Amino acid sequence: MAQVTLKGNPVQVEGELPQVGAKAHDFTLTAGDLSDATLATFAGKRKVLNIFPSVDTPTCATSVRKFNAQANALNNAVVLCISTDLPFAQARFCGAEGLENVKSLSDFRDSDFAVDYGVSIADGPLKGLTARAVVVLDENDTVLHSELVAEIGQEPNYEAALAVLK
């Protein structure tokens, strides 16, 4: 089990964050239209997995906005914003913010994604949500970059994540 912090307090995180060079685990997440989305849904594209607890928190909202601003400049890539928020909440947030360059996906139906990607918060006030992380995959689903953010309230290293796609 990994450990991160929330406002300086230790939080246990279940699973193993994918490491650079590894093949990414397949997943089934829920898209905005309630259909299933898997890695195959985005076959042939490079993928930025922006993983966070909830769009209804300031840092999470900021990460979605910042990745949205960068998404159009990425060649053959898609930014997937993944949380346990219901697809309706994700759509409301992105619609209100005018965010059209990212794809929101939800892990609300089961926790396989969260455990498989090493982001399942196991204790504390956010238990059951996903920790903040960024995983970047190439078009063959090999991990190019992997970051589990040490403090849930802090933003990820955008520059490092996007640099592997240049």
Given 17, 48, 55, 60, the catalytic residue: 60
Task: Let me know if 60 is a catalytic residue.
Answer: yes
Cα–Cα distances (Å) from 92 to 32, 34, 55, 56, 99, in that order, read 10, 14, 10, 10, 10
Cα–Cα distances (Å) from 124 to 10, 56, 109, in that order, read 8, 18, 21
Q: How far apart are CA 151 and CA 140, in angstroms?
A: 30
> What angle, rounded to 10 degrees, do the helices at 87-97 and 58-71 form?
60
Query: What amino acid is encoded at 73 in this protein?
Result: A
The structure tokens listed for 13 are 């995180």
Where in the sequence numbering do the catalytic residues fall? 60
